Amino acid sequence: MKLIIIGGGFGGLRLARRLSNKKGISITLIDQFNHHQFQPLFYQVATAGLNASDISFPLRKVFHKSSNINFRMATVHSINETAKKVITDIGEFDYDRLIIATGAGTNFFGNAEIENYAIPMKSSIESLHLKERLLCNFEHALTSNDEETRQRHLNIIIVGGGPTGVELSGAIADMRHYTLPKDYPEIDFKRMNIYLLEGSPRLLSAMSEKSSADAQRYLEKLGVIVKTNALLKTYDGHTAFLANNELIESALCIWAAGIKGNIPQGIDASLIARGNRIKVDPYCKVLGSENMYAIGDIAYMEVAAYPHGHPQLASVAIQQADLLASNFTKEVKGKNGKKEFSYNDKGSMATVGRNLAVVDIPKPKLHFGGFFAWFIWMSLHLMLILGVKNKFFVFLNWLYSYFTHDQNLRLIFRIHENQATPTPNT
């Protein structure tokens, strides 16, 4: 069985690893990057807490001991289901089974002006760009002679009260309290405002009301200005215009309000559900297809417990990958008994700041908040990171930051236009 897996995220990587060295199966894993990115910690890269390399792992290294897996770094242009081909920028690939695990990107909901000026955070590159913009804003605030301009560079807007927005708000609030006053003693950081805008009535809407209330209380304790039922109408790079006619002056708007599936060309439009997700059956097979599957954020499966599709979480992608690995192995061996997908919700969590987090566990129904929840969050994320070296450096950075109240990665790298191609003597 010749498999092609598009995407080296949680789902695609998990599937490839589960089928590694399985007889009768050959795999080509395609991704536009040559590394797996641990998305839950992008916000720590953006706030100078971790190196981008600490949360990234080379995909080729993962499969050093795999005899049946090839990796190709390529951009997928389209899928030809009739010919069973994947067309990329480096050539065409034939398949017997195709697994689409392309994940999701930022959804600006068609607002071109917000897309032009707001900064998303869905990759390591975007996280590094956000870190540079964040730090450069403080440099501009330091040197500005105009009071209005200085305040605009001290105001930060974060749009979206999901886990990403909550975690990012808390991390920046910690920077304001512990780190920035030491870096910029000339600036009065009591005047720095962090706005978290959420369009629905509460934060962390996918979690329990208790977690939502705790998260908002923690953030407000950290000095974050939380605005629920607050819809951003537009943003021009200087001013945020809310639907209620409120204006917020800010030179930095971070967009964490929505995601949409990264669907390759060639998928029938009738199979695309809300949020740009591909409709699949209980076996994760694309509806109407004989040999095409979708897992993770890109997959839309309607079941009684999840009538609007499963939550777009790493745990869903991992469990769907496990299901496919089991079913493909049975198929190769000629065994019957393929299983349908049933999501085992083990809980959800979000960190809010230093010693602060919220955790929901459905069975038994439990809720944790504060330091104990923060410890659970930290331990779980550390276990999920690939590679012993990565785990070590992440833990070392966390340990250093915890005891010193400092993040040591506040570096700004910029190349001037006239130095873009340095000479050998430069």
Catalytic residue among 167, 186, 209, 340: 167
Q: Known catalytic residue: 167?
A: yes
Three-class SS of the chain? CEEEEECCCHHHHHHHHHCCCCCCCEEEEEECCCEEECHHHHHHHHCCCCCHHHHEEEHHHHCCCCCCEEEEECCEEEEECCCCEEEECCEEEECCEEEECCCEEECCCCCHHHHHHCECCCCHHHHHHHHHHHHHHHHHHHHCCCHHHHHHHHEEEEECCCHHHHHHHHHHHHHHHHHHHHHCCCCCHHHCEEEEEECCCCCCCCCCHHHHHHHHHHHHHCCCEEEECCCEEEECCCEEEECCCCEEECCEEEECCCEEECCCECCCHHHEECCCEEEECCCCEECCCCCEEECHHHEECCCCCCCCCCCCCHHHHHHHHHHHHHHHHHHHCCCCCCCCCCCCCCCEEEEEECCEEEEEECCCCEEEECHHHHHHHHHHHHHHCCCHHHHHHHHHHHHHHHHHCCCCCCCCCCCCHHHCCCCCCC
User: Residues with catalytic annotation?
Assistant: 167
